[in-house]
């Protein structure tokens, strides 16, 4: 192969590159596992997806998975984490941006809607976290509450700054979150609306009733 050649060069310039390479290869493989796993979890449910199936799709054997994850639960937890990051990213971004409450709320709606268009995002609302151990569940739920708190905060903010009409904050937040989470259940990769279109429309539709346009 070309291996003997390609090895010599990095050896001189950076003796650690092989390690880097390995680390990177490892991360790539971990990600591959997660992508396959979340896909199957969404397709068949967590309990009905055996590690054998996950491994088979990766052309490895079941025990090989244990090189990357301690157990099946850890795989799910990391899937949740990746989904959570998507939504939290939008929350953080909007928090750091200038604009009134309504503007920020709409941004968060868009971000959360886009999250629901991706596998890792969908797993947040479609894989029941009751399969997790108490500790893991607690962590996952903490993440979910964070997003919920974001919705409420922006709504309250909007009411305070006048961009949003007074309303029941908690219920409104639930209504919005519910409509968005539901996207994860009906959206189709090849549907006639793109995720961005859905996100934009939701941002408007879900704030129509509370936006102060006077």
Residue 15 is classified by DSSP as: T
Report the alpha-carbon angle 186-192-197, nearest 5: 85
Does residue 164 bind a second copy (CB under 8 A)? Answer: no
Of residues 26 and 185, the one with the C-beta less far from DNA = 26
What minimum distance in Å lies between the beta carbon of 124 and a second copy? 12
State the angle between helix axes of 101-115 and 72-96 in degrees (0 to 180), rounded to the nearest 10: 150
Task: Kindly tell me which of 74 and 200 has the beta carbon lying closer to DNA.
Answer: 74
Say whether residue 48 binds a second copy (CB under 8 A).
yes
Q: Please answer whether residues 122 and 154 qualify as being in contact, where contact means their C-beta atoms are separated by less than 8 angstroms.
A: no
Q: Is the CB of residue 26 less than 8 Å from the CB of residue 68?
A: yes
Dihedrals φ, ψ of 65, to 5°? -60, -30
CB 164 within 8 A of CB 101: yes
The yes or no reply on residue 18 touching DNA (CB under 7 A) is: yes
Tell whether residue 24 is a contact of DNA (CB under 7 A).
no
53 contacts a second copy (rule: CB under 8 A): no
Is 141 an interacting residue with respect to a second copy (CB under 8 A)?
A: no
The footprint of a second copy on this chain (CB under 8 A) covers a number of residues equal to 37
Tell me which of a second copy, DNA, none is bound by residue 71, counting a contact when its beta carbon lies within the kind-specific cut-off of 5 to 8 angstroms: DNA
- DSSP characters over 91-117: HHHHHHS-S-HHHHHHHHHHHHHHHTT
Max CA separation in the chain (angstroms): 72
Residue 180 lies near a second copy (rule: CB under 8 A):
yes
Mark the segment that binds DNA (CB under 7 A) among 63-71, 81-89, 92-100, 108-116: 63-71
State the DSSP H helix or E strand holding residue 69, giving kind and residue range, or none if neither.
none
Q: Is 50 in the site for DNA (CB under 7 A)?
A: yes
Asked if 9 touches DNA (CB under 7 A), the answer is no
Question: Locate tokens 């939504």: which residue?
Answer: 87
| Residues 95 and 146 sit within 8 Å (Cβ to Cβ) | no
Question: Applying CB under 8 A, which residues contact a second copy?
Answer: 1, 11, 43-45, 47-48, 126, 128, 130-131, 167-168, 171-172, 174-183, 185-186, 193, 198, 201-202, 205-210
Site of interaction with DNA (CB under 7 A): 1, 3, 18, 22, 25-26, 29, 48-53, 60-64, 66-68, 70-73
């Amino acid at each position: 192969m070309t291996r003997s050649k390609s090895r010599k060069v990095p050896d001189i310039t950076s003796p650690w590159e092989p390690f880097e390479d390995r680390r990177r290869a490892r991360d790539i493989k971990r990600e591959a596992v997660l992508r396959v796993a979340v896909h199957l979890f969404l397709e068949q449910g967590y309990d009905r997806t055996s590690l054998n199936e996950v491994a088979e799709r990766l052309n490895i054997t079941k025990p090989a998975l244990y090189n990357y994850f301690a157990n099946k639960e850890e795989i799910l937890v990391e899937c949740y984490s990746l989904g959570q990051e998507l939504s939290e990213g939008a929350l953080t971004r909007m928090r750091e941006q200038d604009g009134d409450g309504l503007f920020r709320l709409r941004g968060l709606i868009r971000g959360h809607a886009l999250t629901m268009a991706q596998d890792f995002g969908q797993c947040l609302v479609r894989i029941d976290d009751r399969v997790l151990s108490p500790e893991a569940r607690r962590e996952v739920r903490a993440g979910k509450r964070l997003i919920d708190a974001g919705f409420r905060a922006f709504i309250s903010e909007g009411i305070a700054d006048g961009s949003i009409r007074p309303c029941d904050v908690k219920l409104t937040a639930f209504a919005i979150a519910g409509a968005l989470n539901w996207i994860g259940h009906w959206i189709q990769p090849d549907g006639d609306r793109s995720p961005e279109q859905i996100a934009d429309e939701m941002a408007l539709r879900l704030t129509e009733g509370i936006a102060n346009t006077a």
